[in-house]
Every structure is written in C-alpha cells, then in structure tokens.
Amino acid sequence: MKIDFKEYKEVWKYLFWFLLLIVACKFTKGIAAAGVTLFAIWAIAKKRPGVVMLCYMVLPMLIQVNGTLRGGSALFGMICRISPVILTVLVLGESAQRQGRNILPLGGLYPYCLVALISSVGGWCPPVSYLKLVNFLAFLIGLHVGMKNLHDYPGELRVLRTGLLAFAVFIIFGSIATYPFPSLGYSMFINNMSAWVEIEDAAEFIKEFSGIKLFSGVTNHSQTLAPVTVACVAWTLLDMLFIEKRASWLHMSLIGASPILLFLTRSRIGLVGLVATLTIVYLFALPKASVDIAVRRKVRGLFMGFIMLCMVGAVIAEIKDNSITKWLRKTENIEESEEKGDLLETVARSRQGVIAENMYDFNQNPLLGMGFQTSEYHRYAYQAGRITWYSAPIEKGLLPLMVLGETGVVGGIVFALFVLMFYGGCQRKGYRCTALLMTVFFVLNMAEASYFSPGGLGGVLWVVLVGGGFVIDMMVLNGDQYRFSGMFPFEGV
C-alpha cells in the first residue's frame, strides 16, 4: 500500500473545517455551532442537499466532542437541540421536489412513536417524554426525508462520503493523538475523580493511579468513544469494499488502530461491537462486494491477518498481565473481582440495575409501558425542580427491554414490525450496506440503549451507521467508482 497524503486532500480539508468549528465553539462558548445551521440554510437555498445533510450530521457529532476541546454552555445545548428542528422543517419543503423512490425504510418508526406518545400520557413524567419524543421525531424526519433520492446528486453523495471519512479520522486518529496528554484523553475520568480527590497534575495522577482508567479521547465519555469507534470502523470497512474497492492505506490504518483505542476505553460493548462488525462484514459484505478477484483475495488475506494479529496480541496481553480479563471484568484487581463471582456473573451484575428498572416499568403497565425515555426518578426530580423538561438524562441499557418498559407489549410488537419492515425494505431495494450497518447499530444498543437519543450518543450512531450506510448504497446504485484523488465535492460552494 503506497501512502500518498495528497490522495485524500479533500478529507484533510473537511477535517480542517471541523477542527476550526471546534476551536470556534471553544472561544464562543458553543455559539459558533449556530453557524452550522446558517450554512445549512444557505445550502438549502442553493439546492445542495449533500451539504445540508452534512451540516445536519455535524450537529450531533459536535455534541459528543470532548468538552475540554469544544467548550460550551447552556446556549450551546439549546442551539444543538433547536437547529435540527429548524433544518427538518426547511428540508421537508426542499426534499419534496426530488423525484424517485430511494428513501431510507424508516416509515415503520412513526407508528411506534404514536404508541410512545399514547404510553407517555399515563407515564412517569409526560412533559419530559413529550419533549424527548418531539426531539427524536424531528431528528428522524430530517434524516429520513433529507437523504431521500440523493442518488440523483452524485456530487452531493461525495460531500457526505468525504465528511464521514473525515469524522472517522477525527475520532480514531484524533483520540490516539490525545493519549500523551491525559488532561485531554482522560478528561472525563479525571473530572469524575476530581470530585473525590484533589488532582494537581493530570499526567502524574494517571501514571500513579492503580485502578481502572477510562480513556475518552476526543469524545465526552469512554462509553461514547467505544461505540462511535466501532461505528466508524464498520462504515470504513464497507466504504473500502463497496466504494474504494481496494485496501487503501487510510482505510486500513483506521481499522488497524481501532483495537488499541477500544482497549483503552475498557468498554465491553466496544469489544463485542468490533467482533460483531468483523463477523458481519466477513460473512455478508465481503462475498457481495463487486471487486476484482485479486483485490478480494488481498482484502480477505488482510482481513484474516488483522484478526490473527488481534488474537495473538490478546493472548500476549493476557499472558503478560491478564489484560483481557481485566478488560472484561473492568477492574485491575482480578482476585477481588473473582471473589464476587465468575465472568458471566460479573458482566450480568453490571446490567442488573437497568434490567430491573426496565422490568419494573413494564410490570407497572404491561400493555403500554411507562412513557418514552423517562423513569420513575424523573417524576420526583421534575416536581422537585432538579431536572427540567429539556434536561433529563436517562440510562436504560438493553434496547429490547427498554422498548418493553417504555411502550409495553403494544410498543414491542410495533417496534418488531418496524424491524421486519426495515430489513424487508432494504432487501427489496438492494440497500445492503444500510441493512448491515443497522445491524451493527442494534448490537451496540445491547448494552447502551441510545437508539432514541439523538441529542446523545444515538445521534452520532444514526448518522454514521444509518445515514452513512445509505450513502454507500446510493453510490453503489449509481455505479460511482471513484477514489478521493481528483474529486472536488465542495466545488461551487
């Protein structure tokens, strides 16, 4: 693989603008994020749907950036919540003019949202549920209609593809670049620990700390970095196979660096997600990619070599200091952890709280559940003024149990029908990459249920996995076989 940085000059350009936006947010307490919305409005007037959707994707990405890098304020949060609603309204009118039937098969989610609305009426905290439902619907409609019939705009698809690859570079290489600077790379962990101990020197504290250390890189949390890294790897693999059609140095570097990053986060769902991604891509994507036999053999060889290297590295790390066991148990004291139970018990114990909460909600109202994205705690916290209708964090764990707890049996059936309709629609229209990446999305929601949280981790996963998968499928539909060298997606902007 020949390394030629000029080949990806458009990716570096997009990366530069994203970094500049982060710096601008830092010095304006996040107000610069409004510039993304203004630029998107300009792009709508100029009929540049790819640029519009790139701006739409940047907003949830920006929310998840490390606060030490990005800065921010209450106004920043409001901008990032209100902007998608504004853009959705504007995109509805613009997208109606696009002809064709290529659209993400997400229509089955609207009946589920209706069930969620009904269940929220008698739920734990209706004001919180209503706002979160409006927030999710605005995001869903914007993504749904905004990506409609983009096959007619090959230049706009290139804008989105370049932006997604630039974001993958930012997440993976950017996070690795923060490792020598603990005040950045471990900022979430240090901020949490500073509530218990006085920390004068971040680097010295990380060096001397003997317990588990959670790396968050350029994101705001280690449990954000791990799923987003998996999402970027999954998208990069499919982009390499179906669009790039070769084992490029940039794609392989991003994929190769990911296990190191995931190990640093100590996230179990990151490990599970990576294994699931590699399995899905090897079994269902590689055999269907229309690449030359020689390229297929090379990619297959590199794929198997990567897996073997990971396995050998895991064995060496385990023999050296039980690193894999520590990762799975999320502890540096294995003896103490073993006294509390075997590995399966340890993993299950970490999820017991959210499982019990979901089942408690379900048992209160098995038919309709206890409301969209809320919990019993929200009712009392809202009444006491500790949370507001626009600020109510939630942690629900497993997606299937969350659906049952929030919308009951009725919601569970409707959501299951959506899943069947989604995969049926993908099968019918040939959206192979969209279907595979949605599967990765579901896997990542088996521990950190973020599916209905566009203002949190879910927003990034939706745009990278679902929106990104659709971009690849539309380019395959066009037979658009280009590489990054010589392309100018922002020409005319």
Do you know the residue count of the chain? 493
Rounded-to-integer distance, Cα 20 and Cα 205, Å: 30
State residue 491's pLDDT score: 44
Separation in Å, CA 309 to CA 4, 250, 301, 306 = 25, 19, 12, 5
Q: Residue 238 contacts by C-beta under 8 Å, 6 or more apart in sequence?
A: 281, 285, 433, 436, 437, 469, 472
Mean pLDDT of 435-464: 91
Listed in sequence order, the DSSP H helices in 46-73 are 49-63, 67-70
Its pTM stands at 0.90
Task: Tell me the pLDDT band of 375, cut-offs 50, 70 and 90.
Answer: confident
Nearest one of 181, 150, 171 to 65, comparing CA atoms: 171
pLDDT of 353-364, one tens digit each? 788 888 999 999
Cβ neighbours around 489 below 10 Å, total: 23
Task: Tell me the pLDDT band of 340, cut-offs 50, 70 and 90.
Answer: low
Mean pLDDT of 118-142: 91
State residue 472's pLDDT score: 96
Mean pLDDT of 315-334: 66
**Inter-residue contact 350 to 384 (CB < 8 Å):** no
**Inter-residue contact 157 to 480 (CB < 8 Å):** yes
Which has more confidence, 98 or 485?
98
DSSP class per residue in 206-237 = HHH--S-----TTBS-HHHHHHHHHHHHHHHH
Rounded-to-integer distance, Cα 193 and Cα 67, Å: 16
Q: What is the DSSP letter of 283?
A: I
**Inter-residue contact 365 to 408 (CB < 8 Å):** yes
Task: Tell me the pLDDT band of 25, cut-offs 50, 70 and 90.
Answer: very high
Rounded-to-integer distance, Cα 380 and Cα 364, Å: 17
Separation in Å, CA 460 to CA 19, 37, 338, 374 = 17, 17, 36, 21
Q: Which of 196-205, 244-253, 369-378, 429-438 has the lowest mean pLDDT?
A: 196-205
State residue 271's pLDDT score: 86
Rounded-to-integer distance, Cα 215 and Cα 450, Å: 20
Cβ neighbours around 8 below 10 Å, total: 21
Separation in Å, CA 308 to CA 260, 271, 305, 320, 321 = 15, 15, 5, 18, 20
Rounded-to-integer distance, Cα 405 and Cα 364, Å: 9
Query: Helix axis angle, 34-45 relative to 74-95, nearest 10°?
Result: 10
Separation in Å, CA 298 to CA 291, 294, 433 = 11, 6, 21
Q: What is the DSSP letter of 463?
A: I
State residue 489's pLDDT score: 41
pLDDT of 30-67, one tens digit each? 899 999 999 999 999 888 999 999 999 999 999 999 98
Task: Tell me the pLDDT band of 4, cut-offs 50, 70 and 90.
Answer: low
Burial label, 41 (beta-carbon count in 10 A; 0-12, 13-18, 19+): middle
Q: What is the mean pLDDT of the chain?
A: 85
Nearest one of 462, 493, 489 to 144, comparing CA atoms: 462
pLDDT of 160-218, one tens digit each? 999 999 999 999 999 999 999 988 999 888 888 887 777 878 888 888 887 778 899 99
Spacing of C-alpha 338 from chain mean position: 33
**Inter-residue contact 364 to 370 (CB < 8 Å):** yes
Task: Tell me the pLDDT band of 486, cut-offs 50, 70 and 90.
Answer: very low
**Inter-residue contact 91 to 44 (CB < 8 Å):** yes
pLDDT of 380-425, one tens digit each? 777 777 776 566 777 777 899 999 999 999 999 999 999 999 999 9
State residue 485's pLDDT score: 45
Residue type at 181? F
Find where tokens 């986060």 sit: 265
